[in-house]
Amino acid sequence: MNTSRKKIYFASDAHLGARFHKDPLAVEKKLVRWLDSIKDEAMAIYFLGDMFDYWYEYKYVVPKGFTRFLGKLAELSDSGIEIHIFIGNHDIWMFDYLPNEIGAVIHRDVLTTDLLGKRFFLGHGDEVDYRSKAFRFIRALFRNKFCQWLYAGIHPRWTFGFALGWSLNSRKSGLEKEDALKYKGEASEYLVLFAKDYLKTHPDINFFIFGHRHIMLDLMLSRTSRLLIAGDWMTLFSYIVWDGENLFLEQFELIEN
């Protein structure tokens, strides 16, 4: 890790390419401007899942688009900044394209790691969501290698349209649920419940950081442990910064040109 730079950044849930974005290109451009704004100080950037609304790599085919975002990641990687990408529940099917083309490290599960002297537990958030049997079943199905092989046999013209349509319908139905994207409180928020339970056997964790929930949250769990949820890059344009002493949530509010 390049220790000449002093900050580590975390962001999640841009859902690039989603049909529910009013102006998908504007979202991507804003994300790239944020990356430009931090590149001189960043030593590593962790994208905590669902940066793409849908991503599936065939052997010779990858999703079109995202050229500004991917090009910027390649530039940052070439300059020595570590790029870490967690798969989310929308962009599970990342294989070797992003590691080979931009030097990204792909994380397929939660990660416990030491960063600038503190212990972090990182993940998208769906990995620890055990509320719904249906959700767990679909997640296991999507991650099954045999099912992925079968899916790859379908022509991309069908799979991409199906997946983006499903995501749009899922988003609409989710928004219709009352308070779906609001903090549910310590007694009901499953990421909080998971972190508190995990601390019982892993008291060395200083920071839990997740995406997935599309809310901004900074919560003290104990005298030595905090949980942060990174918000999103759809409406909040939020991110987390760690400089070795301070960990905090920010929002990128650059005025549009």
pLDDT at 100: 92
pLDDT at 74: 96
| pTM score over 0.75 | yes
| Residuewise pLDDT in 10s, the chain (257 residues) | 555 669 999 999 999 987 777 888 899 999 999 999 999 999 999 999 999 987 777 777 677 778 999 999 999 999 999 999 998 887 777 888 899 999 999 999 999 999 999 999 999 998 887 666 666 656 665 666 766 666 666 666 656 565 555 555 555 555 444 456 788 889 889 999 999 999 999 999 999 999 999 999 999 999 999 999 999 999 999 999 999 999 999 999 744 44
pLDDT at 206: 98
pLDDT at 255: 46
pLDDT at 20: 76
pLDDT at 197: 95
Please spell the DSSP secondary structure of the chain, one letter per residue: --TTS-EEEEE----BT-TT-SSHHHHHHHHHHHHHHHTTTEEEEEE-S-SBS--B--SS---S--HHHHHHHHHHHHTT-EEEEE--SSS-B--SHHHHHH-PEEE-S-EEEEETTEEEEEE-SGGG--S-HHHHHHHHHHH-HHHHHHHHTS-HHHHHHHHHHHHHHHHHHHHHSTTTTS---TTT-HHHHHHHHHHHH-TT--EEEE-SS--EEEEEEETTEEEEEE--TTTT-EEEEE-SS-EEEEE--PPP-
pLDDT at 176: 42
